[in-house]
Amino acid sequence: MLDQYTGVGVFLAVGALFVAVTLLAGKLLRPHNPYPEKLATYECGEIPVGEGQIKFHIRYYIFSLIFVVFDVETVFLYPWAVVFEEMGLFGFVVMMLFIGTLVEGLVYAWKKGALRWV
Amino acid sequence: MEMVLLLLLKSIVWIVVLLSIFAFLMLFERKFLGYFQLRLGPNRTGPWGLLQPVADAVKIIIKEDIIPREADRITYKLAPIASLFVALAAFASIPVGPPIELFGRTIELSIVNPNAGVLLLFATTSLGVYGITLGGWASQSKYSLLGALRSTAQMISYELSLGLSIIGVLILAGSLNLYDIVQAQERVWFVLLNPVGFLIFFISMFAETNRVPFDLPEAETELVSGYSTEYSGMRFGMFMIAEYINMITMSALAALLYLGGWNGPSFLPGIVWFALKVTLFIFIFIWVRATMPRLRYDRLMSFGWKVMLPVALANLVITAAAVSLF
């Protein structure tokens, strides 16, 4: 008996075949004529200034940190939602406490200004 | 052995159909955008521009594949492939109709049908960030890097509200299996039972697929198409295919979770109802693109975290309370 998840693998293998065929066809058909100006990084037609890996804002890290907390929460909620009706009031109360704790975390981050984009 | 053959056959049919839908979706989008702007859209290639997809495909395959000197070559080459693979993997768990009887056997109209279908779908769609981030980073271009960063931050922010909005549906259906969820909507669609959840899902859907009004990662006018600035030829094409397949996946998911999937009056077969619902969502994608201006980035982020997330949580709590009361 075939496992359900191997199906995704088979599907992707067929997808890989498609990718290989188109890339190979392209390789045989397309021109190849590089010269220094063409290989330069695009910067509105000017010669690029400095390197491509510019510094970026620390904000991105803060948002991804808060994201990790809430994403894990979402994953915890999925199995709870499925057995919700069988668990009755107990399940409801317990999960409300869990969500309440996380809402408190969100409020804290909000008050601290972590959600402000400058 | 027979199972493997069936799976292979289904995979080939799925990919061929998906790619043809993609090709004509490009045409329909350009055509309808044209009509919205009182233009004709593509009309030189064949009647109603119907041969435009062929012309586009030929053009994109014979374009030179330019790899910038500075670029991280391996990552640069692999990023679009990763993007496409993730889009395909996500579509694998979407059922497109009720199981059919063919040659005395029941055939499910999805590549896989795991018990945790919704979970598998979310696991794969969240991987979509990687192709974009790596592509933008490996290009070693300022525009690409900015586009990739914006895209990552936006996708993870709206993924939360997307994931939370669905929990309402899961509580109502009591299952993670997409077939069971559709079955549960036989009498009443979940869009009527959980309208706020649908609204949140609907908005997050646009952000997840990087479409207008949330298309800041691509923002032609400021970032010269963001993460794909340096790409050309088929590798650029793969990013495009991935984007449109994601759009189809999201539309299909919205139809499955909220609009009752293939349920509908019986004068049309289920698969036609499903196709109509998906087409409706895809049309709305194009309609919104023609109508809405792009958001400013800080507004987009604060809308995601300060409006969508709290509303999604409140919707979840209220749905749970309502279900346990009645």
Measuring CA to CA, which residue among B122, B130, B124, B179 is closest to residue B151?
Answer: B130
Name residues of chain A where pLDDT drops below 70: 1-2, 118
Q: In whole angstroms, what is the distance from residue A17 CA to residue B8 CA?
A: 12
Q: Which residue does chain A place closest to B90, by CA atoms?
A: A8
- Domain extent, residue A8, equals 2-112
Assess A28–B contact: CB distance below 8 Å, yes or no: no
A118 belongs to a structural domain:
no
> Is residue A65 included in any domain, yes or no?
yes
Q: Pick the closest to residue A99 from A60, A70, A57, A58 (CA basis).
A: A70
What pLDDT shows up at residue B158? Answer: 87
CATH code at A38?
Answer: 1.20.58.1610
**B277 backbone φψ class: left, alpha, beta (φ>0; ψ -120 to 50):** alpha
Highest mean pLDDT among B98-107, B181-190, B306-315: B306-315
3-state secondary structure of B105: strand
In this prediction, residue B220 has a pLDDT band, given cuts at 50, 70 and 90, of low
* pLDDT surpassing 60 at residue B318: yes
Q: What is the mean pLDDT of chain B?
A: 86
The reply to whether residue B67 touches residue A15, judged by beta carbons under 8 angstroms, is: no
pLDDT of residue B219: 67
Higher pLDDT among residues A52 and B251, named by residue: B251
Q: Is a pLDDT exceeding 70 seen at residue B59?
A: yes
B184-192: average pLDDT = 85
Give the residue carrying structure tokens 């064949």: B46
Query: A48: closest CA among B67, B155, B69?
Result: B69
Q: Are B308 and B203 in contact (CB under 8 A)?
A: yes
State the total domains in chain A: 1
**Which positions in chain A touch B84 (Cβ < 8 Å)?**
15, 19
Give the confidence band of B47 by pLDDT, cuts at 50, 70, 90.
confident
Smallest Cβ–Cβ distance between A40 and the set B7, B69, B164 belongs to B69
Of B114, B145, B313, the CB nearest to A103: B313
Shortest distance between the Cα of A47 and any Cα of chain B, in A, equals 12
Q: Which residue has the higher pLDDT, A66 or B282?
A: B282
